[in-house]
A and B are shown apart, each in its own frame.
Chain A
Amino acid sequence: MIMVVASACSSSNTCYESMDSSFRITMHKMVFDQDKERYVEQDFRTTATIRGVGIDSLLYDMETDSRFEVPLNKMDSQSVFLIEQMKVQEGDTMFVEDTLWVEYSSALEFVSLECGCVSVFDVKNVRYSVNMIDSVNLVYGHVDRLKVNNLKVYVRK
């Protein structure tokens, strides 16, 4: 009996929650649809290398995908990313680099005593260079543990 009660009283100190709140970027391009006779949006799989400015460690190293998740700086109100995309033009392979500035406010959200706090962000503004990037659209500015598409990046043809 005592053992049953003792096991009921003992607590597990392990965190089983996902504590990751990443900013999700999806890549798109606009293509002309002959049937609809207008430009339509398509997912764009690109081979990219992504890292934070001032950080040596790479977030993505020549990975081919149309969706990338990057961490925002918890200690700052701005995170700057370098996005280097591979581009094949007339048989030649080249790398085109763009810079993405993400400006936001952040807050702490308590998860549990075992896991601690997670940072949540409200993105206010996104600026970008226009080498490979044509335009961006901030579709959902709140960044938390629920993974949603936050930013659409449209690349040049």
Chain B
Amino acid sequence: MRKWVVILAMLVMVFDAVAQRDSVVVRKKEADPNYERPVFQGFSAHVDLLTPAMNLIFGKVYGTEVTFDLNLYNRLFPLIEIGYSDVEQTLASNITYKTNAPYLRFGINYGILRPINKAGKRRLLDCYPYVGARYGMAFMNYEYKNVEIRDEYWGGMTTTEYSKPFVYSGWLEIVAGVRMNLAAGFTMGWAFRFRTAVHTSAETKAYTWYIPGYGKSDGSSFTFSYTIGYTYKVKKVRDRDGTGMLTAKKPQ
């Protein structure tokens, strides 16, 4: 019996020694000052003003979109963009195309400006540039009216129309932009977007002539957006440990 107690005690000592060595390794790891703690630094909601205005002027597209993002470490901004588009266009072929659908994009922005400069001082990040990526999707209903069939040789002309509900379309976006503070938590931003890689559940991309949230489906496109909204930031106090790090204010 005494022999087993001795063996057990030795095993406990060995495991304890290993655990202590591992914990020393963990303690040696320092936090990257460019990823501020705590993880959650705030959130924001923005409305795109330019895209609906431009669409209305040049494309007879009605709708708008809002963006909600989280601020993690003051570097990463996971987000969703929700919008709605209502389109009705008649082209030279006299065919009228109509679609209306909500759309959703999700993705992430990455702040490209380091919060700590080369001298080790903290930057005043009232304005941050970013790059990001999105995956967009729309479940759309589309309708074609006044589709004209004309036989030039044999003669005769007829018109037809058809529609299809719940057609899925998806695409990718690469984004580069800047977000800046205005006052009292209000923020605004500009962004360039490159949209590409459209895929759809319709028979061909030709059927989804205009995809809500993407635009004309016949190729990649380059767009520009201007947003305005409100940003909530976790309040901070200056850390006195001499590192220049900012930390979130503890609740009273």
Query: Which A residues are within 8 Å of any B CB, using their own CB?
Result: 1, 4-6, 8-11, 13-15, 52, 55, 57, 59, 71, 73-76, 79, 108, 110-117, 119
Question: What is the CA–CA distance of A57 and B98 in the complex, to the nearest angstrom?
Answer: 39
Q: Is the interface of B mostly helix, strand, loop or mixed?
A: mixed
Name A55's contact: one of B93, B154, B223 (CB within 8 Å). Answer: B154
Point out the residue from B57, B97, B151 that lies within 8 Å of A73, measured CB to CB: B151
Name B's A-contacting residues (CB within 8 A): 50, 54-55, 57-59, 89, 91-93, 95, 97, 144, 147-149, 151-156, 158, 160, 204, 206-207, 209, 216, 218, 221-224
The reply to whether B58 and A71 form a contact with Cβ atoms under 8 Å apart is no
B207 to chain A, nearest CB (A): 6
B-chain residues with CB within 8 Å of residue A9 when the two chains form the complex:
54-55, 57-59
> How far apart are the CA atoms of A75 and B158 in the complex, in Å?
8
7 interchain residue pairs of minimum CB distance = A9-B58, A13-B92, A75-B156, A73-B154, A74-B151, A116-B93, A113-B209
Compute how far the CA of A74 lies from the CA of B153 in the bound complex, rounded to whole angstroms: 10
Q: Which residues of B contact A71 (CB under 8 A)?
A: 151-154
List 13 A-B pairs, Cβ < 8 Å.
A4-B224, A13-B92, A14-B92, A52-B153, A55-B154, A73-B154, A75-B158, A108-B147, A110-B144, A113-B144, A113-B209, A116-B147, A117-B149
Residues of chain B within 8 A (CB-CB) of A6 are 54, 57-58
Question: How far apart are A81's CB and chain B's nearest CB, in angstroms?
Answer: 11
Complex CA gap A157/B144 in Å reads 53
Give every chain A residue within 8 A of B55 (Cβ-Cβ). 9
Q: Is the CB of A75 within 8 A of B207?
A: no
Complex: A99 Cα to B221 Cα, angstroms: 53
Smallest CB separation, A17 vs chain B (Å): 9
Across the interface, do A116 and B209 meet the contact criterion of CB distance under 8 Å?
A: no
Question: How long is the Cα–Cα vector from A55 to B54 in the complex, in angstroms?
Answer: 51
Closest CB of chain A to B238's CB: distance in Å?
Answer: 40
Contact B154 A74 (CB under 8 A): yes
* Complex Cα gap A13–B93 (Å): 8
The CA-CA distance from A7 to B235 in the complex, in Å, is 44
Contact A115 B221 (CB under 8 A): no
Q: Which of B91, B153, B222 contacts A8 (CB under 8 A)?
A: B222
